[in-house]
Amino acid sequence: MGISADMGAGFQRLRELVEAVARCGRNTPGHGVSRLALTEPDRQAREIIAGEMRELGMTVHTDACCSLWGVLPSSGKGPGVIIGSHLDSVPEGGDYDGVLGVAAGLGVVRDLLSVPPRPGRPLAVVVFTAEESSRFSLACVGSKAAAGRLSPEDVRRFCDGQGVTLAEALKNFGGHPEALGQEIISPADWAAYFELHIEQGPVLDKTGDDVGIVEAIAAPTRFMLELEGVQAHSGACPMALRHDALTAAAEVILAVEAAGQAEAKFGSVATVGVCECRPGAMNVVPGRVTLKVDLRGIRSESVARMRSQVMAKAVSVCGARGVTCQLTPYSSDVPVAMNAELTALLERICRERDVKYRRMPSGAGHDAMFVAECIPSALIFVPCRDGVSHSPKEQIEWAHVQPGYEVLREAVKERLFL
């Protein structure tokens, strides 16, 4: 599928924007980007994107949760179309997760403006705040807020590793956490949401398909486990008298893996991504360990089984070892189906343009999950090399991004001129 001569500028600009944003929070070679939510690199990336929005004639504003909106004024009335994703990254992440979707949205705006007539309905590009849970242990912060799922109390409850609450960080960034819950995406204003994202898994790269049309997004259930044993001298405390929090945690970590393996046939996965051991000295029996657990699947009952299995094992392991275990829930989201009409639209466009595509689930979480609670939403995947993501090794082939970009553009166009 080729790009027509008058519509090539958007895709070229998308590449330039991705490269420019990748310089914000760039680490030393081999260590990717660390553009954690609501930090200075995040601000720099948003400035690039806001500049592009203004250059395209969009009206730029940030909402109470600091999500950045560019809206192209329309000549007519009727609910419009939103294209969105995020700019924040995990620590030592890659260049494309989220950024590609934001830049693709702006590429689409550029292409649509290059060929009259101007869209008769509003078209918005949104950068949602803190899609990654890395800084505040809460994912999809901006899109949750836009769906009315985040209250001022919620953002006071979550904090980063330095003890800065999400509420404080939002405020320092120019947001209004006390006003959360007042700006909710309304179907009266918006008819559809589209998000383009790298797959972050190996399916498309293996099958050679250029586009994944996502049917459902797996939802994470996340919680913290704090194991408290007895801190002791590693030389003087005999083995029989120990209450080692780290060895207990080791068994719990293996139980999380076993729960994921038991439910793998349903496509579920289970991960301990954080293990902090205190006091963390070679000559001290660990007294306290914090684990952060992430369980995901597209079947709620499978995720619930993993959670029960992990908790039953944690209770028995800790009981046997004389270690206490306390659970703090972070989130328990439900798997979300994408809108059937929009997925059918994407499928038709792929067929008409001979794009190799497949319908598939998403293992990773996306802002589309929460926007879908408000308006019809669709998620388009493009391949990433070897399926690697959340890693400095995240890589794409631009030639394999182009078909997905064009499918996005055509779908947006159809919805705007309906």
User: What backbone torsions phi and psi does residue 250 show, to the nearest 5 degrees?
Assistant: -60, -40
**In the complex with Mn ion, which residue's Cβ is closer, 175 or 220?**
220
**Residue 98 interacts with Mn ion (CB under 5 A)?**
yes
Choosing among Mn ion, ligand GLV, none, which partner's interface includes residue 191 (Cβ < 5 to 8 Å by kind)?
Answer: none
Shortest Cβ distance from residue 134 to Mn ion (Å)? Answer: 8
Rounded CA gap, 270 and 184, in Å? 32
Nearest residue (CB) to ligand GLV, 119 versus 220 = 220
Which range binds ligand GLV by CB under 6 A, 1-9, 132-140, 270-278, 307-315? 132-140
Pick what 80 binds: Mn ion, ligand GLV, none; C-beta below 5 to 8 Å, kind-dependent.
none
Tokens 């001979």, residue located: 354
Residue 85: strand, helix, or coil: strand
Strand, coil or helix: 124: strand
Query: By C-beta, is 98 or 105 nearer to ligand GLV?
Result: 98
Nearer to Mn ion, 97 or 294 (CB): 97
- 365 makes contact, choosing from ligand GLV, Mn ion, none, with CB < 5 to 8 Å by partner type, with ligand GLV
365 is a site residue for ligand GLV (CB under 6 A): yes
Distance CA 191, CA 172 (A): 33
- DSSP characters over 258-300: HHHHHTGGGT-EEEEEEEEEES--TTEE--EEEEEEEEEES-H
- Whole-number Å distance between alpha carbons of 47 and 35: 13
Q: Is 201 in the site for ligand GLV (CB under 6 A)?
A: no
Query: What is the C-alpha separation between 293 and 310, in angstroms, rounded?
Result: 10
Q: Is 33 one of the binding residues for ligand GLV (CB under 6 A)?
A: no
* CB atoms closer than 10 angstroms to residue 303: 27
As a whole number of angstroms, the distance between CA 164 and CA 152 comes to 15
Pick the binder of ligand GLV from 88, 95, 132, 195 (CB under 6 A): 132
Q: Is 42 an interacting residue with respect to Mn ion (CB under 5 A)?
A: no
The answer to whether 307 and 294 have CB atoms below 8 angstroms apart is no
Binding site for ligand GLV (CB under 6 A): 132-133, 139, 364-365
Residues that bind Mn ion (CB under 5 A): 97-98
